[in-house]
Amino acid sequence: MIFDTRLLTGVGVLAAVTEAGNFARAAEMLGVPTRDRHQLKAWSADFAEMLGNFQHNPDHTPKVLRALEEMLAYFRERVRELRAHPREGLINSLLTAQMNGDRLTEEEVIANSIITMVGGQETTTNLIGNGLLTLLRHPAEMQRLRDGPALIPSAVEELLRYESPSQHTARMAPTDIELGGQRIRRREAVIAVMGAANRDPDRFPDPDQLDLARTDNRHLAFGWAAHFCFGAALARIEGQISFAAILRRMPNLALQQVPLPWRTNLGLRGLIALPVRY
């Protein structure tokens, strides 16, 4: 059997998840028509190319820009509809939120809707796919988790550290600055590789060792500081529910000995499919 990792996205218990059902739920949460789910998934995958790869695969740029333009037009239209006929969902919450009389502009509502949809889909898929692969490659640790499901929250943190779904992020330096002995000029790009930091031997004892009960596991898989992942709590719950359900329902799960198809995306590390037997 092949777990198509496209089936592993989103909120809910793995066994109950189908691509259609899952994107239907994402659409529902946003407050857009569920019949648009396939289109939303396709845009989300194209946009992820930019999040993870833009600087590395310039050939993909036209496709990414087209997806972005189409998504902008789509969300602009939905925002107009929601203003005329409000219905529950994240977009409506963003439209009506206010603080001290200040509200988000239409562009800000659209940008936040897109980043939440893409950020929420493309990363959790990788957490579940990479995490399951890691468990299958470490049978003793997997057994330890089966024997002590109370370890699930700590296991999810270790799987986030060990095979980080989002490997790097980038910033433009706002001013000339010296960092780690390097001179960085204003507007130069700096790439922070969370995947490397999460295996830093100065921070984590035996960093290449998978230890589902690791303590003081303050990894950077969700970033840091002002832009720390907005969906971290939701992603953690999704991971916990999914791994608990898989271990409970599939006692004989094993990896098929075939080559693993990885996404060609440096930033968003994940599988296209995870071939297993059970």
Binding residues (CB under 6 A) for ligand HEM: these are 115-116, 119-120, 123-124, 127, 165-166, 169, 221-223, 227, 229-231, 234-235
Structure tokens at 256: 């098929």
Structure tokens at 130: 């990479």
Query: Shortest gap between Cβ of 35 and ligand HEM (angstroms)?
Result: 21
**213, 205 contact by CB (below 8 A):** no
In the complex with ligand HEM, the residue whose CB is nearer, 14 or 235, is: 235
Query: Shortest gap between Cβ of 237 and ligand HEM (angstroms)?
Result: 9
Query: Shortest gap between Cβ of 124 and ligand HEM (angstroms)?
Result: 5
Query: Shortest gap between Cβ of 226 and ligand HEM (angstroms)?
Result: 6
Amino acid identity for residue 117 in this structure: M
Query: Shortest gap between Cβ of 258 and ligand HEM (angstroms)?
Result: 26
**213, 150 contact by CB (below 8 A):** no
In the complex with ligand HEM, the residue whose CB is nearer, 1 or 177, is: 177
Residue written as tokens 């396709």?
42
In the complex with ligand HEM, the residue whose CB is nearer, 64 or 221, is: 221
In the complex with ligand HEM, the residue whose CB is nearer, 54 or 230, is: 230
Query: Shortest gap between Cβ of 256 and ligand HEM (angstroms)?
Result: 25
Residue nearest to ligand HEM (CB): 231
In the complex with ligand HEM, the residue whose CB is nearer, 20 or 191, is: 191
Strand partners, 99: 102
State the Cα torsion 170-176-180-181 to the nearest 10°.
140
Cα–Cα distance for residue pair 22/57, rounded to 1 Å? 29
DSSP three-state, residue 35: helix
DSSP three-state, residue 261: coil
In the complex with ligand HEM, the residue whose CB is nearer, 26 or 210, is: 26
Cα–Cα distance for residue pair 89/154, rounded to 1 Å? 31
